[in-house]
Amino acid sequence: MSNKKKIGILGASGYTGAELVRLLLRHPKVEIGLLTADRRAGQMMGDVFPQFAPYQLPQLVTIDSVDWAAAGLDLVFCALPHATTQTVVQELLSKAPDTKVVDLSADFRLTDPAAYEKWYGHAHHALDLQQEAVYGLVELYRRDIKKARLVANPGCYTSCAILPLVPLLKAKAIETDEIVIDAKSGMTGAGRSAKEEMLFSEVSEGFHAYGVGHHRHMAELDQEFSKAAGKEVTPSFTPHLLPINRGILSTIYVRGRRGRTAQDLHAILAEFYAKEPFVHVLPFGKTPQTRHVRGSNMTMIGVAADRVPGRAIVVSTLDNLTKGASGQAVQNMNLLLGFAETVGIDQPAVFP
Ligand SMILES: NC(=O)C1=CN([C@@H]2O[C@H](COP(=O)(O)OP(=O)(O)OC[C@H]3O[C@@H](n4cnc5c(N)ncnc54)[C@H](OP(=O)(O)O)[C@@H]3O)[C@@H](O)[C@H]2O)C=CC1
Ligand SMILES: CC(=O)N[C@@H](CCC(=O)OP(=O)(O)O)C(=O)O
């Protein structure tokens, strides 16, 4: 009998679900025991994504057909649309309370029920689980994640901004009311379901901002920044849609506090992440590109001086499907199941 841990992926026919399959196929300590889909239930992964055709994988089934108590799953990844997730996770944990869950949606990321209701437009349906969930950004919450049952994997834009900014806020090294995050994402960030505004002809050869002044990731940024600073922080944040498949790059403008220079801010980040396997701080003045992290679980951060006295420019990049979603989720799984943190996710970016 295999002593590998048995893993389920809900929403395996979507982009983050498929990225989980890609990563777990190379993971030596787990086997995939369940894959679910909605419209594509009944198909094989190789029918939906031909790159998986050579691999032995379970057939895609509906969530309703799963008997959670009998499934014998050690851990379930939930890669479903927002709001669908809450009732599914509630049902799963009521029938199989020892199963660990890593949820990739936003359903359990916000600790304040009022903030959830405000930003997502409806009351939360599983408030007890919302309170139980641990925010799954490993570099900041490693100790809590190891003890958790339900982990709320962070958003992709938010990871790309929280990783560079939280150490600076914790060190009280930047002014909290002058943070500007100018973020750009590739199109897989929007998921695989067909949407008119995501057609090639609507996005290629162009570039635009969206969610201007009201994107829901602001709630997550406010939560994590305020916690780090010990006071309310509301940054400016504007997402843009890039006509590329994978990658987020954020250009972040900050002002050093009490005479802190850009070099001081760089030193804080370099020290904070010196031992982290998935965050790389570049030498001062150098900035990363999305292609340096494509397909890897790495976040790259660069810091440079602004010509405006007292200000610094921080550039941060990650792959939205990997460190921004499924790679981060596997990093969480490794902690939850007691594996070394880097197993299965230590490959470098694809080249070129
Ligand atoms: N894409 C990204 O970069 C990131 C995504 N996320 C979050 O991860 C989650 C998944 O995103 P993503 O993979 O992009 O989404 P996709 O739209 O690509 O995939 C959604 C998956 O959920 C299934 N599904 C849809 N509706 C239902 C339903 N009502 N009941 C059961 N299953 C359903 C789909 O099945 P079928 O294919 O059969 O319709 C598909 O497998 C979302 O909450 C998203 O916000 C988080 C960070 C980054
Ligand atoms: C390019 C694009 O559309 N990106 C998505 C965010 C990515 C994501 O999935 O974040 P959540 O998990 O919080 O939904 C958006 O702006 O809605």
The pLDDT of 322-341, averaged and rounded, is 98
What type of residue is 214?
A: H
Report which DSSP code applies to 256: B
Please state whether the predicted TM-score (pTM) of the whole model is above 0.90: yes
Q: Do the domains 157-320 and 5-154+323-336 match in fold?
A: no
Residue 313 Cα to ligand 1 midpoint, Å, equals: 34
The answer, yes or no, to whether residue 1 has pLDDT greater than 90, is no
**Ligand 1 — pocket residues by CB below 6 A?**
11-17, 37-40, 63, 79-82, 84, 104-105, 155-156, 188-189, 191-193, 320-321, 324-325
Alpha-carbon span 276 to 323, nearest angstrom:
13
Residue 78 is predicted with a pLDDT of: 98
pLDDT in tens, 181-214: 999 999 999 999 989 999 999 999 999 999 999 9
Alpha-carbon span 52 to 54, nearest angstrom:
6
The pLDDT of 41-61, averaged and rounded, is 98
Nearest CA to ligand 1 atom 20: 14
Residue 138 Cα to ligand 1 midpoint, Å, equals: 22
pLDDT in tens, 224-254: 999 999 999 999 999 999 999 999 999 999 9
Tell me which of 66, 156, 162, 169 is the catalytic residue: 156
For residue 13, which ligand has an atom nearest its CA?
1
- Ligand 2 proximity of 345 Cβ (cutoff 6 Å): no
| CATH tag for 5-154+323-336 (out of 3.40.630.30, 3.40.1010.10, 3.20.20.70, 3.40.50.720) | 3.40.50.720
For residue 242, which ligand has an atom nearest its CA?
2
For residue 318, which ligand has an atom nearest its CA?
1
**For the chain, what is the mean pLDDT?**
97
State yes or no: is 78 an active-site residue: no
Range 157-320: architecture per CATH? 2-Layer Sandwich (3.30)
pLDDT in tens, 104-118: 999 999 999 999 999
Domain spans of the chain, in order of start: 5-154+323-336, 157-320
**pLDDT-above-90 percentage for the chain:** 98
Q: In whole angstroms, how far apart are CA 323 and each of 75, 79, 200, 294, 306?
A: 19, 15, 25, 10, 28
Residue 231, exposed/middle/buried by CB under 10 A (0-12, 13-18, 19+)?
Answer: exposed
